[in-house]
Amino acid sequence: MRFPVALHTDDGKQFGVTVPDIPGCFSAGDSEDEALDNAREAILGHLELLAEMGEEIPAAQAIAVHRSDPDFDGAIWGFVEVDITPFLGKAEKINITVPSLVLKQIDRYVQEHPAEARSRSAFLAEAALERMRKGH
């Protein structure tokens, strides 16, 4: 999942980072790159705590949703991508019925895009999560 992050600086050398979609998730760094790296660690830590408490992983919203918030005036916007699957719980095996042509298309997509979809199951889970997020 790609979380938008807002970087702030007063001196152009040190950067604070806010992750608007994860309340209380902040980080900092001595450069933009370090701040983004540290933000990734902060996001992972927050997601781990949410999973331990049985809380839902928050959906990442578009930067445009946050841009109008006065708390982010003058922010430099970026994204931090994290794999949320470790925080979704134990995998469970299920039996589903999928039309043959659709299954072939899924398998072809997974084979051609291994960085995006590690397996058929991962693809289906990620597609379902994405569809549910859009329904919010």
What value does the mean pLDDT of the chain take?
A: 90
Please check the confidence at residue 136 and state whether its pLDDT lies above 60.
no
Question: Rounded to whole angstroms, how far apart are CA atoms 124 and 106?
Answer: 8
* pLDDT of the residue at 134: 74
User: Token match 């134990």: residue?
Assistant: 90
Decide if pLDDT at 92 tops 90: no
- CB under 8 Å to 118, separation ≥6 — which residues? 110
Task: Give me the mean pLDDT over the 86-100 stretch.
Answer: 87
Distance CA 3, CA 79 (A): 5
The label of the residue with tokens 């597609």 reads 127
Residues in the chain: 136
Mean pLDDT of 20-31: 95
